[in-house]
Amino acid sequence: MKQHFNYFNKIGLLAAGFSILTFYVSTLFTPDPTLSSKVFSFAITPFFVGGGIYFYRFKLNKNMLSFAEGMTIGFFIYFINALLTFLGIYLGLLLSKSLFENIKSNMMNVLFEKKEEIINTLGQASYDKTYQEMLGLSIFDVAITDFIFKIAFGLFFTIIISIILRKI
């Protein structure tokens, strides 16, 4: 399987390229591209992970796949996607402080709009704590949130796809 990691590296690079492109293209349509980035990640992750596992099973490994092989391939693909997207978003926001300020102000506006709902559900102390944490929001926080979502989606889809493709 080691000799095939170059294929999976390319798939992860392609997924990361699409993810970074989506993040920055969505800035043309919305002041906060983080939601569209998460939705896009949720949509493309199964295609790239599934494509990589499918390619390995049917094209490289003579129609055989163990669950561990599927999990390894999926991890490699979604981790490369998540890591490179993290770096792309982090470096891009470092270079474009105005974009980061737009994201932060949009998140603060959402917090203000949901103030009564948050206070009624969780209490004033919870709202105040959330407000203080939002004031301290950093570029790293935005990028690492995207990274964590990609890892979570990737793991979820890799498990499902590995089970399905192993059984077929």
Percent of the chain at pLDDT > 90 equals 81
Domain definitions of the chain by residue range: 2-96+139-167
What is the separation, in whole angstroms, between the first and last Cα of the chain?
20
Q: What is the per-residue pLDDT across 123-145, written as a single tens digit (0 to 9) for each? A: 999 999 999 999 999 999 999 99
pLDDT of residue 16: 96
Phi and psi (nearest 5°) for 116? -60, -45
- The Cα-based distances of 165 to 26, 50, 79, 92 in angstroms read 33, 9, 20, 37
d(CA 166, CA 163): 5
d(CA 49, CA 103): 29
The residue that leads in pLDDT, 145 or 167, is 145
Predicted TM-score (pTM) above 0.75: yes
What DSSP line would sit under 73-120, residue for residue? HHHHHHHHHHHHHHHHHHHHHHH-HHHHHHHHHHHHHHHHHTHHHHHH
